[in-house]
Protein backbone atom coordinates (compact mmCIF):
# COMPACT_ATOMS: atom_id res chain seq x y z
CA UNK A 1 0.00 0.00 0.00
CA UNK A 2 1.49 3.32 -1.01
CA UNK A 3 1.74 6.44 1.10
CA UNK A 4 -1.14 8.05 -0.82
CA UNK A 5 -3.40 5.07 -0.12
CA UNK A 6 -2.55 5.23 3.59
CA UNK A 7 -3.35 8.93 3.68
CA UNK A 8 -6.68 8.43 1.88
CA UNK A 9 -7.59 5.58 4.22
CA UNK A 10 -6.73 7.80 7.17
CA UNK A 11 -9.06 10.54 5.93
CA UNK A 12 -11.84 8.01 5.30
CA UNK A 13 -11.49 6.68 8.86
CA UNK A 14 -11.42 10.25 10.23
CA UNK A 15 -14.55 11.32 8.35
CA UNK A 16 -16.36 8.08 9.17
CA UNK A 17 -15.57 8.50 12.86
CA UNK A 18 -16.83 12.09 12.90
CA UNK A 19 -20.04 11.08 11.12
CA UNK A 20 -20.45 8.23 13.64
CA UNK A 21 -20.03 10.65 16.54
CA UNK A 22 -22.63 12.98 15.06
CA UNK A 23 -25.07 10.13 14.43
CA UNK A 24 -24.61 8.78 17.95
CA UNK A 25 -25.13 12.27 19.41
CA UNK A 26 -28.40 12.58 17.47
CA UNK A 27 -29.58 9.12 18.51
CA UNK A 28 -28.83 9.67 22.20
CA UNK A 29 -29.97 13.26 22.65
CA UNK A 30 -32.52 14.05 19.94
CA UNK A 31 -34.23 10.90 18.75
CA UNK A 32 -37.28 9.18 20.22
CA UNK A 33 -35.21 5.99 20.70
CA UNK A 34 -32.96 7.37 23.45
CA UNK A 35 -33.55 4.53 25.92
CA UNK A 36 -33.06 1.81 23.32
CA UNK A 37 -29.85 3.39 22.02
CA UNK A 38 -28.40 3.71 25.53
CA UNK A 39 -29.36 0.12 26.38
CA UNK A 40 -27.78 -1.23 23.19
CA UNK A 41 -24.63 0.88 23.75
CA UNK A 42 -24.29 -0.33 27.34
CA UNK A 43 -24.80 -3.94 26.28
CA UNK A 44 -22.15 -3.69 23.55
CA UNK A 45 -19.68 -2.04 25.94
CA UNK A 46 -20.16 -4.68 28.66
CA UNK A 47 -20.14 -7.54 26.12
CA UNK A 48 -16.88 -6.26 24.61
CA UNK A 49 -15.18 -6.08 28.01
CA UNK A 50 -16.39 -9.55 28.97
CA UNK A 51 -15.28 -10.93 25.59
CA UNK A 52 -11.78 -9.56 26.21
CA UNK A 53 -11.73 -11.12 29.69
CA UNK A 54 -12.96 -14.44 28.21
CA UNK A 55 -10.20 -14.31 25.58
CA UNK A 56 -7.58 -13.73 28.29
CA UNK A 57 -8.97 -16.66 30.29
CA UNK A 58 -8.99 -18.92 27.22
CA UNK A 59 -5.42 -17.94 26.41
CA UNK A 60 -4.28 -18.66 29.96
CA UNK A 61 -6.10 -21.99 30.00
CA UNK A 62 -4.82 -23.28 26.64
CA UNK A 63 -1.25 -21.96 26.55
CA UNK A 64 1.31 -24.44 27.85
CA UNK A 65 3.44 -23.20 30.73
CA UNK A 66 6.87 -21.85 29.82
CA UNK A 67 9.95 -23.98 30.27
CA UNK A 68 11.78 -23.47 33.58
CA UNK A 69 14.80 -21.19 33.41
CA UNK A 70 17.08 -24.03 34.54
CA UNK A 71 16.59 -25.71 31.15
CA UNK A 72 17.93 -22.65 29.33
CA UNK A 73 21.13 -22.29 31.35
CA UNK A 74 24.00 -24.28 29.89
CA UNK A 75 26.31 -25.91 32.37
CA UNK A 76 30.00 -25.10 31.94
CA UNK A 77 32.03 -27.71 30.20
CA UNK A 78 34.39 -29.72 32.45
CA UNK A 79 36.58 -30.86 29.57
CA UNK A 80 39.90 -29.07 29.13
CA UNK A 81 40.87 -28.65 25.54
Q: pLDDT tens for residues 12-26?
A: 999 999 999 999 999
One domain, residues 36 and 24: no
Helix and strand numbers (H, E) in the chain are 2, 0
Domain region containing 38 = 32-62
Coil, strand or helix: which one is 5? helix
CA–CA distance, 66 with 53 (Å, rounded to integer): 21
Question: Is 27 inside any structural domain?
Answer: yes
Q: Is the pLDDT of residue 52 over 90?
A: yes
Q: Is the pLDDT of residue 77 over 80?
A: no
DSSP state string for 43-76: HHHHHHHHHHHHHHHHHHHHSPPPPPGGGTSPPP
pLDDT at 23: 97
Q: Which residues have C-beta within 8 Å of that of residue 37, sequence separation ≥ 6?
A: 24, 27, 28, 31
One domain, residues 7 and 26: yes
Q: Is the pLDDT of residue 8 over 60?
A: yes
Question: Is 69 inside any structural domain?
Answer: no
Amino acid sequence: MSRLDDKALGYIILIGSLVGIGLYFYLVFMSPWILLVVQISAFIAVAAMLAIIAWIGYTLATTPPPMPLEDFVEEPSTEDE
